Structure 1
Amino acid sequence: MLVRVRTAHVVIIYDVSCPNCSRIARELPDLVRVPVTVLSCRNPRLGGWYPTLPAPVLACGTPAVGAVAEDDTVRWWTGLRGAAGLLPVVRPGRLREAAGLLLSALRTTRAR
């Protein structure tokens, strides 16, 4: 049986030295309908706050999006896969804008 978990809020962890990541972290909270916490991967407390956070995120190797359930469990998505975790909480009418933000990130990643 599939159990649907409601996302109570979202956590974004990114490297502030990445301009594309900074743009997404700045614009994303306006596109979703749940509260968003934005944190730097350089925060020394991350591992204590989020013990299930993947090691590459703690090492600032990749950004992450965490969908936090009402029971405070977190489902993490790293890199551009974070878009999958955000789909259920995108504001009605903002999907096109959210997709544009993702496509912009994808183009930048491929251009490197």
Structure 2
Amino acid sequence: IPPTIFGDVAPDARIAQEEIFGPVLAIIRARDFDHALDVANGTEYGLTGAVYSQKRARLERARREFHVGNLYLNRKCTGALVGVHPFGGFNMSGTDSKAGGPDYLLLFTQAKTVAEKL
């Protein structure tokens, strides 16, 4: 498939709700920042997101409320560096863990608490 742009996509459209692997861009109009955040969080996936804004309050709100594993503020959302940026997502985009992060190995361990009266 050649690079394709779909305009005026409804937030509940299949192309907006599923991960598309290919050079495809779906454009969804939002009424305002609140609506944009609702649309972004209204999917089963949460790997990566990006917010561009000159308003610091919006960036801070995105930091708190945008439910993604990797959030990019005022920069492109591609180009995570392997071995530098821990990478992982939420919901259907991952296990909430961060591949390459300092706690990643904990996923492969089994914690056990042992109490013994001596």
Shared topology, TM-score over 0.5?
no
Determine which structure has more spread, i.e. the larger CA radius of gyration.
2
Q: Tell me which protein shows more strand as a share of its residues.
A: 1
Using CA pairs under 8 Å that are at least 6 residues apart, name the structure with larger relative contact order, 1 or 2. Answer: 1
TM-score by length of 1: 0.25
- Which structure is higher in helix share? 1
TM-score by length of 2: 0.24
